[in-house]
Amino acid sequence: MCGRPGTDRPGAPVPTVVLGITGSVAAYRAADLARDLMRAGFTVRACLTEGAQEFVQPALFEALTGQPVLQSAFDEPEPGRMAHIDWARQADLLLIAPATAHTLNRLAAGIADDMLTTIALVYDGPVVVAPAMNPSMLAHPATQASLQTLQERGVVVVDPVGGLVACGEEGQGKLAANETILQTALAAAQQGKALEGQRVLITSGPTQEAIDDVRYLSNRSSGRMGAALAQAALMQGAEVTVVTGPTAVSLPGRARVIRVKSALEMQAVVLAEAPTTHWVVGAAAVADYRPVQRLSGKRRRDGDRWMLELEPNPDIIASVAAMAPEAMRIAFAAESGEDLDYVRQKAARKGVHAIAMNDVSQPGIGFESEFNALSLITPAGVEQSGHLPKLGCAQWLWARLLAHHHEGGLRAGLAREVVD
């Protein structure tokens, strides 16, 4: 699923991506992105907005790609031809990186007042946008509404990441890593129908277990992996429902989203949804314990020790088996260290068909990261995804699960494999 697009067989056509570059300080990174796309097998055609040309020059992209560069609504590389029509008709993917708030808002409104937005209005294939802007601009209701509108139309959004932005402020707004954008582009270009007609239920994010009206127990899960799994399933034609705990991560606009807080709330929703679902993927980082007693109001600090009594939360994915025995059940395990035998035993207790484990003790992957590395345990054995952006991991995971399912090897489940 994450290989070179259009190069699976000799003589396969080389796919074309229109790379839209807008007026963000991050525009300089588009040069490396263009080279990455070419290495991945794309023909790259760059289109620079007027603002982008304040940061990077069209000649740079013409030299890098070997293709003409569009920079004005009146450009005609071929006399007598309408470039915005030709480029839109010939493209296999439209990728806008970086995408400014100005461009996103125009795309959402259907405004076509420059070459890039005109191409976008004509183009009817997969679209990926990678926003980059000041955190306040990203958080503005107009920008958020535009992102939601674009996602509802099927546009894939590569979330910006947190950090220090060009203006010196700290927050979410930095352009995502080029590798993340590349993997998202590859995924969008390779959309298929392997899950068409199937309903997929995904749990995502952390849960919050209230101690009193102010404090709660939770964990560092960002919900990025669950969002990536949802996006990858949508790309394969699935009807997706995401049950998510509290998280700020953007979820695909075409997914049905149900928001909860506690593990008990999540379990109630999952058990209600599971009987009509084909796949249940438990990617949420559900709190293992909750306070026995929730205090009313806010407990005041009095200088004494505060002993909390905790009780176990239900195992949500394990509870699905009784309600939806025909559904394929996939668990996730965030472990410190790679104890595969323990993970197999965990899978047996849960009664799942497969389990994906990631080692959260490894730097740079897992919680709060754009990247992950999964070990997938199925009745056939153990497979490794390698270090990938989370969408790449999600695509790899769905590809392996579907391959095993089609071969008939997934239905037996891990409980039988481990117990027998």
- Does residue 2 carry a catalytic annotation? no
Which residues make Cβ contacts (< 8 Å) with residue 115, sequence separation at least 6? 47, 49, 70, 71, 72, 73, 75, 83, 84
Q: Phi, psi (5° rounding) for residue 22?
A: -115, 175
Tokens of 298: 């806010």
**98 cis-preceded (ω within 30 degrees of 0):** yes
Annotated catalytic residue, options 2, 47, 167, 393:
167
d(CA 334, CA 83): 50
DSSP three-state, residue 3: coil
Contact 196, 404 (CB under 8 A): no
Tokens of 210: 């209230």
Residue tagged 């239920």 (tokens):
201
- CA dihedral 118→121→124→126, nearest 10 degrees, is 80
d(CA 233, CA 237): 7
Question: Over the range 23-62, which residues count as b (16 or more CB within 10 Å of their CB) and which as e?
Answer: bbbbbebbbebbebbbebbbbbbbbbbebbbebbebebbe
d(CA 130, CA 95): 8
Active-site residues, by number, are 167
